[in-house]
């Protein structure tokens, strides 16, 4: 229905204006429109997610660092480097997917720290570290468990973002094909109309099938980009290493 389509356009325009005001506020600017050089679907992702991201990136997260300090305060005489507690595993595999180590850590029914230790890190509990923890106070035990849960939540957030990004990438490829087919249908219907072989109703019908497909593709692209932002946040500030070295790689154009 024309009325429904018009109402949809007005609602989308309203949401755009509100989002522009929100962005300007975050940037310390007055509310107003934001200039654009191209449409969302014409823009390319600036980077792709590198493979082999180390779990040490997560140690920069404010929540992980705060939990680490709580452990230090709870037992200043602990005598063990808190950094040794953090599992040393790879986070991403080829094409930015979740690594085998991360999958094992999150899916294992055993103690997650033992699972992580099989990859590269020492046991958080057990063996030499357990012996040195026998005199720990209740406050330290509470802080330790909080640290474990915080770290596990960090791994989970990274995994969620990587899974979402991969799924949205797959959806984008499929939906792009649907949009391409829809645009060809509109072009063909337009040619047939100009040559007098079809009525304009055929053009309108092709457009009515194309526009929802383009709208769906736009929503998928937004979700794909938000997944990258979520990963950036989950890693504690992107994929720069602790010494500031960047692991960014140029993005590949998806045709």
Residue positions counted in the chain:
255
pLDDT in tens, the chain (255 residues): 555 567 777 888 899 899 999 999 988 999 989 887 777 667 776 567 888 888 888 888 999 999 988 888 776 655 554 555 667 777 777 666 777 777 777 776 545 555 445 544 444 444 555 554 455 557 777 888 899 899 999 999 999 999 999 999 999 999 999 999 999 999 999 999 998 888 899 999 999 999 999 989 989 998 998 998 899 899 988 876 545 555 444 444 443
In this prediction, residue 138 carries a pLDDT of 73
Crossing angle for the helix pair 138-194 and 62-74, to the nearest 10 degrees: 180
- Dihedral sign from CA coordinates of 161, 159, 44, 219: negative
| Distances, alpha carbon 237 to alpha carbons 24, 114, 182, 199, in Å | 22, 27, 39, 56
pLDDT at 121: 45
Say what the pLDDT of residue 249 is.
45
Question: Under a CB-based contact definition with an 8 Å cutoff, are residues 90 and 116 in contact?
Answer: no
Q: Report DSSP letters for 57-117, one per residue.
A: GGGGSHHHHHHHHHHHHHTTT--S-GGGGS---B-B-GGGPBPHHHHHHHH-SS-HHHHHH
């Amino acid at each position: 229905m024309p009325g429904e389509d018009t109402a949809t356009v007005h609602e989308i325009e309203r949401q755009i204006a509100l989002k522009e005001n929100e962005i300007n506020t975050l940037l310390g600017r007055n509310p107003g429109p934001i200039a654009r050089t191209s449409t969302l679907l014409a823009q390319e992702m600036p980077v792709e997610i590198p493979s082999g991201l180390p779990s040490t990136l997560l140690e920069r997260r404010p929540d992980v660092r705060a939990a680490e300090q709580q452990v230090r305060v709870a037992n200043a005489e602990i005598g063990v480097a808190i950094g040794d507690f953090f599992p040393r595993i790879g986070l991403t595999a080829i094409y930015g997917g979740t690594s085998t180590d991360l999958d094992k850590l999150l899916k294992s029914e055993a103690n997650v720290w033992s699972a992580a230790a099989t990859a590269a890190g020492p046991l958080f509990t057990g063996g030499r570290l357990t012996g040195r923890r026998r005199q720990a106070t209740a406050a330290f035990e509470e802080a330790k468990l909080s640290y474990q849960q915080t770290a596990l939540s960090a791994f989970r957030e990274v995994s969620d973002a990587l899974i979402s990004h991969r799924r949205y990438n797959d959806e984008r490829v499929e939906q792009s094909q649907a949009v391409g087919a829809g645009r060809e249908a509109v072009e063909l219907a337009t040619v047939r109309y100009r040559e007098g072989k079809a009525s304009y109703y055929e053009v309108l019908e092709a457009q009515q099938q194309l526009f929802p497909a383009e709208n769906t593709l736009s929503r998928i692209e937004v979700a794909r980009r938000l997944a990258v932002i979520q990963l950036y946040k989950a890693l504690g500030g992107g994929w720069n290493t602790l010494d500031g070295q960047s692991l960014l790689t140029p993005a590949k154009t998806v045709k």
